[in-house]
Every structure is written in C-alpha cells, then in structure tokens.
Amino acid sequence: MSNGDRKIIARIEDATLAFGERVILKNCNLDIVDGAITCIIGLSGAGKSTILRLLDGLLLPSAGHVYVRGRDVCHITEEQRNRVRQKISLSFQFSALLDSLTVGENVALPLREHTRLSEAEIRRTVMDALDSVGLTRAFDNLPAELSGGMLKRAGFARAIVTRPDLVLYDEPTTGLDPIVTNLITDTIVRLREKLNGTAVVISHDLSSIFGMADYVAMLFEGAIIAYDTAQGIRNSPNPIVQQFLSGSEIGPIPI
C-alpha cells in the first residue's frame, strides 16, 4: 500500500463505529506511514483510544475497513488476525504491569506466551529490552518500587520485547513531569529507530508531540479532520486545529 511516494503500513478506510447509540467514528480515514511516528490529537472522549484498538484488531468497525500491511483485517479468520497482531504492540494508558511479578518477569510474559525461547534466551532478550529503555537495574524490582516514569518505561520494554514493527502508545506522558516527559518522548523515538518500525502515539502534550512526530492527525467529531507533517499541522489554517493547539476557549470547537 502506498500514498504518493510514502509506504503505508496501516490504513483505516471509511470506518464507522458506534457503542450502542453513540457514534464514535463516522467515515473515518487515516493512513499510517511506514517507518514514521504519527501522533493522534483530539479532545477527551473523541475516540483516539478507539482508533488504536482498531489498528490493533481489538475492535472491528461496523462499516469500512482496516488494513494492516495491505491485509483487510476485518475479513480474515481469528487465527489470521492473531498472526497479524503478533507484530503489533499496544502500550496502554496505564502501564498495567502485574503487581506480584518483578519487572523482569513482567517483561518476559509476552515471550513466554508467544515464543519457545530458553530461559537463558528469555533473560537475555528481557535485559536487552530493559536496556533500550534504560532500566536494566530494575530487573528484580516489583512495580510498586518504581516511579511513574520508570513504570511507563517498563511497560514500553514489555511492549517491544517481541520486536513488533508497529507500536501503538496510548497517552505515554500523561501525568508525568516535564523532564520525565522529555525522557519518555526520547525513548519512543529511540525505540522506533531500534525496531526499525512504525509508531502511533496518542498525546495531549504539545511539546512531546512536536518533539517526536513526523505526522500529526487530528480527530474531531468522528473523523480525521486534519492530517499533515508536524510542521504542516503547526501552521495549519484550519481554525479547529489552531484552537486545539492554542487551548483557547474561543473558536469553532463546542465546549
């Protein structure tokens, strides 16, 4: 799949999705450029996490299509979809580590579930994943012993330990101080390079977004209403985008 001269790893095409009566996405279109970092912005409750769940195959649209690496994931068997999902990883808003397991054991979980590596190989792979987020020293710690930023990074290590080529991050910096936010932003950039893959990041943090995004998409009232390079979005003439970026209460966004 391509869009101009850019290769597309995932595409949401004319997707509509409702929870009961509530329509969340309506004829929503979004291309995820291969090898890039795409940030999704939008109001709280707009449906950003829903888009990540579509890309991860956890939800299917009621109309429209979701393609991953050219395959329509809505019209394949459960088993085929699981195979597509093995190369995708979703890092949740809350890092969701198991409290009773050490960081090392938490990061090892996807390897135990999806691979047949030996104990020595698991240890080496977990150490490598922890090293790429600067956390090897936390291998034997319990999650309760970690700070918020360390918990996020441990969650990233678990998300990338199976070397997915598409990593989806849901609000990775929410609730963190500006310095840790910078550290997390740099970590996402470095992980994308290490995996030689693609990242999609939901964020409300403008400095973080403009510190990492190649492309930015804005979700508003069920559809992507603006999509451009980070610079293009910054200079967007769209009044909805401008109001969102400036945080103004005055403008076309109903509040």
Ligand X SMILES: Nc1ncnc2c1ncn2[C@@H]1O[C@H](COP(=O)(O)OP(=O)(O)OP(=O)(O)O)[C@@H](O)[C@H]1O
Judged by CB under 6 A, does residue 254 bind ligand X?
A: no
- Nearest-CA neighbor of 155 among 98, 76, 100, 201? 98
Nearer to ligand X, 47 or 164 (CB): 47
Closest distance to ligand X from the beta carbon of 171 (Å): 6
CB of 44 to ligand X, least distance (A): 4
Of the pair 49, 185, the CB lying nearest Mg ion is at 49
Residues numbered 31-90 forming contacts with ligand X, rule: CB under 6 A: 42, 44-50
Tokens 């850019």 correspond to 6
Which among ligand X, Mg ion, none contacts residue 47 (Cβ within 5 to 8 A by kind)?
Answer: ligand X
- Based on the shown chain and the rule CB under 5 A, indicate whether residue 187 belongs to the binding site for Mg ion: no
The strand pairing partners of 11, in sequence order, are 31, 67
Q: Supply 42's token pair.
A: 């939008």
DSSP-assigned letters across all residues of 72-88: EGGGS-HHHHHHHHTTE
Give me the residues paired with residue 23 across strands.
Answer: 18
* Residue 222 touches ligand X, criterion: CB under 6 A: no
173 binds ligand X (CB under 6 A): no
The residue whose Cβ lies closest to Mg ion is 49
- What does 45 interact with, of ligand X, Mg ion, none (CB < 5 to 8 A by kind)? ligand X
Residues 6+ apart with CB under 8 A from 119: none
Q: Does 21 bind ligand X (CB under 6 A)?
A: no
For ligand X, give the closer residue by CB, 50 or 102. Answer: 50
Q: Which is nearer to ligand X, 41 or 103 (CB)?
A: 41
The residue (of 50 and 181) whose beta carbon lies closer to ligand X is 50
C-alpha distances in Å from residue 148, one per residue of 24, 172, 239? 30, 11, 35
Closest to 227 (Cα-Cα) out of 31, 43, 45: 31
User: Among candidates 175, 162, 173, which has minimal Cα distance to 122?
Assistant: 162
| Strand pairing category for 6-19 and 63-68 | antiparallel
In whole angstroms, give the CA distance from residue 211 to residue 207.
6
Main-chain phi, psi angles of 88, to 5 degrees: -120, 145
94 binds ligand X (CB under 6 A): no
Binding mask 30-59 for Mg ion (x = CB under 5 A): -------------------x----------
Residue 24 interacts with which of ligand X, Mg ion, none, CB < 5 to 8 Å by class: ligand X
Binding site for ligand X (CB under 6 A): 19, 24, 42, 44-50
Binding site for Mg ion (CB under 5 A): 49
